[in-house]
């Protein structure tokens, strides 16, 4: 089995994986970073979004071996200790989550969206999150949270 080495949330990790092992499986099953979720098997729902080398990626579409040598950030690596990232804080403030299952992927996507577009309009947020499905919130409060998070990320 191939061995992969990568940096996850600032920590050097390695593990033996099968060729078919997906990045999300490596994160969840081997590193026990279960904050990243699996909501579908067709790369549609976005529950598994993480950042790979600073870019948001659906970790179910990437083999673990493809992430060899990469810098990976998962939802567990976003907050500084107990201090939430501004986007996480905005989701809490604006009730942008209910069951919490899509939330990690939604937050990771939102952070990347705002990085690329610091002042997104409502429509840009809706278009930008088209790859993240939420069944609970109707997106209303997610949109509000991302708008507020974008402002807060300007620090």
Partner 1 sequence: MSSATGIGAAVKRREDFRFLTGRGNYTDDINRPGQTYGYILRSPHAHAQIAKIDVSKAKAAPGVVAVFTGADYDKGGLPCGWQIHSKDGSPMIEPAHPPLCKDEVRHVGDQVAFVIAETYAQAKDAAELIEVDYKELPAIISTDKADAAGSPQVWAEAKNNVCYDWHIGDKAATDAAFAKAAHVTKIDLVNQRLIPNAMEPRSAVGDYDRATGEYTLYTTSQNPHVIRLLMGAFVLQIPEHKLRVVAPDVGGGFGSKIFHYAEEALVTWAAGKIERPIKWTAERSEAFITDAQGRDHVSHAELAMDKDGKFLGLRVSTKANMGAYLSTFAPAVPTYLYATLLAGVYSTPAIYAEVKAVFTHTVPVDAYRGAGRPEATYLLERLVEKAAREMKMDQVAIRRKNFIPNDAFPYQTPVALQYDSGDYPATLDMALKMADWAGFEGRRQEAAKRGQLRGIGISTYLEACGIAPSAVVGSLGARAGLYECGQVRVHPTGSVTIFTGTHSHGQGHETTFAQLISDGLGIPIENVEVVHGDTNKIPFGMGTYGSRSLAVGGSALVKAMDKIIAKATKIAAHLMEASAADVEFKDGNFTVKGTDKSVPFGQVALTAYVPHNYPITELEPGLEETAFYDPLNFTYPGGTHICEVEIDPETGATQVVNFTAVDDVGRVINPMIVEGQVHGGLAQGIGQALLERCVYDEESGQLLTGSYMDYTMPRADNLPSFKVGNHVTLCTHNPIGAKGVGEVGAIGSPPAVINAVIDALSPLGVTDISMPATPLKVWQAIQSAPKKLAAE
Assign 73 to helix, strand or coil: strand
Q: From 38-46, 51-59, 64-72, give the range in contact with partner 1 by CB under 8 A.
A: 38-46
Q: Which of 102, 111, 148, 150 binds partner 1 (CB under 8 A)?
A: 102
Q: From 51-59, 65-73, 74-82, give the range in contact with partner 1 by CB under 8 A.
A: 74-82
* Spatial distance between the Cα atoms of 149 and 155, rounded to a whole number of angstroms: 10
Q: Which of 88, 112, 148, 150 binds partner 1 (CB under 8 A)?
A: 88
Structure tokens at 144: 């509000």
Of 33 and 62, nearer to partner 1 (C-beta) is 33
Cβ 132 to partner 1, closest distance in Å?
A: 7
Q: For 83, which DSSP code?
A: B
**How many amino acids of this chain bind partner 1 (CB under 8 A)?**
56
Of 13 and 133, nearer to partner 1 (C-beta) is 133
Contact status: 127 vs partner 1 (CB under 8 A): yes
CA distances (Å), origin 121, targets 15, 56, 71, 150: 42, 20, 30, 10
Q: From 35-43, 51-59, 63-71, give the range in contact with partner 1 by CB under 8 A.
A: 35-43
In the chain, DSSP assigns E strands to 3-8, 11-16, 49-52, 55-58, 71-73
Query: Which residues lie near partner 1 (CB under 8 A)?
Result: 18, 20, 28, 32-42, 44-45, 47, 74-76, 78-79, 84, 88, 91-93, 95, 97-104, 107, 122-123, 125-127, 129-130, 132-143
């Amino acid at each position: 089995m191939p061995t992969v080495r990568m940096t996850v949330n600032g920590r050097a990790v390695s593990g033996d994986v099968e060729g078919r092992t997906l990045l999300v499986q490596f994160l969840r099953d081997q590193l026990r970073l279960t904050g990243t979720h699996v909501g579908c098997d067709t790369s549609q729902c976005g529950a598994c979004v993480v950042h790979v080398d600073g870019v948001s990626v659906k970790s179910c579409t990437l083999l673990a071996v493809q992430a060899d040598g990469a810098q990976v950030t998962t939802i567990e690596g976003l907050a500084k200790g107990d201090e939430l990232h501004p986007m996480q804080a905005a989701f809490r403030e604006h009730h942008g989550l209910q069951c919490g299952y899509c939330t990690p992927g939604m937050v990771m996507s939102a952070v990347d969206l705002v990085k690329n577009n610091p002042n997104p309009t409502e429509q840009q947020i809706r278009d930008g999150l088209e790859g993240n499905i939420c069944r609970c919130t109707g997106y209303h409060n997610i949109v509000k949270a991302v708008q507020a998070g974008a402002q807060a990320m300007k620090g």
